[in-house]
Amino acid sequence: MKAVLLAAGEGIRLKPITATRPKHLIKVGGKPILQFCLEAVKKAGIDEAIIVTHYMGEAIGSYFGDGEKFGMHLSYVEQKALLGTGNAASATEPFLNDEDFVLVYGDLLFGQDTVKQVLSKFKKGETAAVMGVVPVDKPENYGIP
């Protein structure tokens, strides 16, 4: 199984910080947000990931490289235009070879247990897909109008 990490967005709500770096490289606790995602996926047992980039994608590729320093194999796909999550995921289709994958937003902080729970539910084979979500009282605080 591979992981697909979405790291294409511009981070408009984070300007001016994102004028000089993609939001996925903003450091929290001394490391980029995307690195936390990769580490959680790795600790959940997945060591191969495709990172979908667009805005300042070269900076993301330069920072993470081929993934060797993280004990992973990383490859990159550019989303040609920012047309949403579905379009970003579809850009990886030629690289997935019809295999199962876990799709992760590359700008969220979560741990390996979250990934393991989602994978566990999926591996039971009772459903074609599983989505991990967190209920919140005020979704408008999370980019939803």
Q: What is the pLDDT of residues 19-32, one digit of tens each?
A: 999 999 999 999 99
Distance between CA atoms of residues 20 and 87, nearest Å: 25
| Omega cis (within 30) before 16 | yes
* Alpha helices by DSSP H, the chain: 33-43, 57-64, 85-90, 93-96, 112-123
The CATH number linked to 48 is: 3.90.550.10
What are the Cα distances from residue 1, in Å, to 9, 19, 101, 117, 122? 24, 35, 5, 15, 12
Contact between 23 and 97 (Cβ < 8 Å):
no
The structural domain count of the chain equals 1
Owning domain of residue 72: 2-142
| 78, β-bridge pairs | 53
What phi, psi does 38 have (nearest 5°)? -60, -40
User: Span 128-134, mean pLDDT?
Assistant: 82
**pLDDT over threshold 80, residue 142:** no
| 74, β-bridge pairs | 49
60-93 pLDDT, tens digit per residue, is: 999 999 999 999 999 999 999 999 989 999 999 9
